[in-house]
Structure 1
Amino acid sequence: MDAPALIDLDTWPRRQHFAHYLRAVPCTYAMTVEVDVTAFVAAVRAAGRRTYLTQVWAIASVVNRHDEFRMTLTSDGAPAVWPVVHPSFTVMHPGSETFASLWVPFDPDYAAFHDAAAAVVAEHAGSGELFPQGPRPAATFDVSSIPWTSFTGFTITATPGTHLAPIVTLGRYVERDGRVLLPLAVQVHHAAADGFHTARLVEELRALLADPSWVAG
């Protein structure tokens, strides 16, 4: 995989914000929203595709639009941006209360990604291991699903370190007033992105799922 590109600190508008939230006040934040997926659910069912893998592709496609969600640190601590990041997603082990963390190279072609991801799940989900594919590439971000319950808030509590990639968590659909809603939480390191950036990510995902013509190809 290609190496990340260094950020030019002399011209980067967020250089002070980055330094402040990475070292002086290291912190993460989480934004939890409900996304209307009524049209998306109908399109996935009509196409005979797998819902979770389709959700993962949609999230990855929006994440890859923006530098702030592809950020990393070099070995000497300098901020850099991956040219592309790949989704790592959790899948329950059959008959077990544990899960596997799998990853698939991001492909802007939805159908190609879906089929590749389905093959990876079929090969590794029953392994019983946490990382059955071996060590993940550095250029990954995390997606997980909690389809057993919906939620109105979700926060992963951890000491902020140098993990700059977003973490996305999905919940069980909620039906309300004839609409289907998806609980979605995005956890972000404040050094990488501010509320403006995460709000833009959420709104772009809303738009992508509201017009799911891409599902049918």
Structure 2
Amino acid sequence: MTTNFTPIDMQTWQRRDYFYYFTKMMPTGFNVNVDVDITASYDAAKAAGYRFFPVYLHLITRLISEQPEFMIAQRGEQLGHYDHLTPAYSLFHEDDHTISGIWTAYDTDLATFNAHYMADKERYSSQHGAVAKPDQPENAYMINMNPWLHFNNYTPLSFNGLPNYLPVIEAGKYVIENDRRVMPVSFTIHHAVADAWHVSHFFEKLQRALNTPDTWLK
């Protein structure tokens, strides 16, 4: 997919004052951790022949693309937003327990995206090092899954001081509660671009989609 970047007019942007406050006066980000019920979508994905992880990547990326506040970035001095994001995630190497970063081109069609994911996994699974797949696009955001740990809180920390307004999302190991599969999802975002309402709205959409895979998992 072609990536489009739309500049933000700071003179008319509704969030201008909040952006200034949370970047200049009180630089702030926040993290939210929510347990979601993945039972229906997990079962539907398996029945359709998909692994759950690429389905998770696709669904999260699609929902993010519905909210422009989660796609804001800075090009030089120009602030703007993309029309979609690219999921960047980690491959785990069983032989030495290390991870390598890769990314998969997003497509609105799940089957097409899944084919891209499987091709990337096949090509780069044996390549070790911090970065296995080069040329990560500028609209890539961090999304991962920790299948070994069901956590109550996960807060990624950045130490480079660079502006990063794209979300960071991490899922954890699901557990069985009352015959339901419950999975923790961590969402971290810069307060300059989003408030609690935006993240709450995202999780409402996520749970609704997870409950109704027949509407999107073809």
If the length of structure 1 is used for normalisation, what is the TM-score? Answer: 0.94
Aligned to 1:109: 109
Aligned to 1:23: 24
Name the CA shift for 1:33/1:216 in 2 (closer, same or farther; >3 Å): closer
Aligned to 1:44: 45
Query: What is the RMSD computed on CA atoms of the aligned residues?
Result: 1.5
Which string of whole-angstrom CA distances, capped at 9 and with x for unpartnered residues, describes residues 127-159 of structure 1?
002222213111111111110010111111235
Aligned to 1:128: 128
**What is the 5 A alignment of 1:5-154?**
5-76=6-77, 78-154=78-154
Aligned to 1:186: 187
Q: One-letter code of the match for 1:105?
A: A
If the length of structure 2 is used for normalisation, what is the TM-score? Answer: 0.94
Mean CA deviation greater in 180-189 or 160-169: 160-169
Shift of 1:178: 1.7
Is contact 1:43-1:215 (8 Å) kept?
no
Name the CA shift for 1:190/1:74 in 2 (closer, same or farther; >3 Å): same
Is contact 2:31-2:186 (8 Å) kept?
yes
SS of residue in 1 equivalent to 2:21: helix
Partners of 1:216 and 1:2 in 2: CA distance: 24
Shift of 1:101: 1.1
SS of residue in 2 equivalent to 1:118: helix
Shift of 1:111: 0.9
- How many residues are matched? 216
Partners of 1:197 and 1:106 in 2: CA distance: 22
Q: One-letter code of the match for 1:205?
A: L
Which string of whole-angstrom CA distances, capped at 9 and with x for unpartnered residues, describes residues 132-190 of structure 1?
22131111111111100101111112356401110000100111112111100001011
Partners of 1:90 and 1:99 in 2: CA distance: 6
Q: Which 4+ stretches in 1 moved above 4 angstroms?
A: none
Which string of whole-angstrom CA distances, capped at 9 and with x for unpartnered residues, describes residues 65-108 of structure 1?
111111001202x3200122111111102312211111111111
Q: One-letter code of the match for 1:176?
A: E
Is contact 1:60-1:87 (8 Å) kept?
yes
Partners of 1:49 and 1:161 in 2: CA distance: 37
Name the CA shift for 1:161/1:27 in 2 (closer, same or farther; >3 Å): farther
Gaps of 5+ in 1: none
Partners of 1:175 and 1:202 in 2: CA distance: 20
SS of residue in 2 equivalent to 1:106: coil
Mean CA deviation greater in 164-173 or 195-204: 195-204
**What is the 5 A alignment of 1:157-168?**
157-159=157-159, 161-168=162-169
